[in-house]
Amino acid sequence: MSTLDARNNSAMMKRAEQLKRWEESDTNRAAPTPRHEHGRRIKFSSGCVFLAACSPATRMK
4-59 tens-digit pLDDT:
999 999 999 999 999 999 999 988 888 887 666 666 778 999 999 998 888 766 55
What local confidence, expressed as pLDDT, does residue 54 receive? 87
Does some domain include residue 7?
Answer: yes
Does some domain include residue 21?
Answer: yes
Does some domain include residue 6?
Answer: yes
Does some domain include residue 20?
Answer: yes
Give the model's confidence band at 60: pLDDT under 50 very low, under 70 low, under 90 confident, else very high. low
Does some domain include residue 52?
Answer: no
Greatest Cα pair distance in the chain: 65
What local confidence, expressed as pLDDT, does residue 1 receive? 67
CA distance 19 to 13: 10
CA distance 61 to 57: 7
61, pLDDT greater than 90: no
Does some domain include residue 12?
Answer: yes
What local confidence, expressed as pLDDT, does residue 24 receive? 92
For residue 8, the enclosing domain spans: 1-29
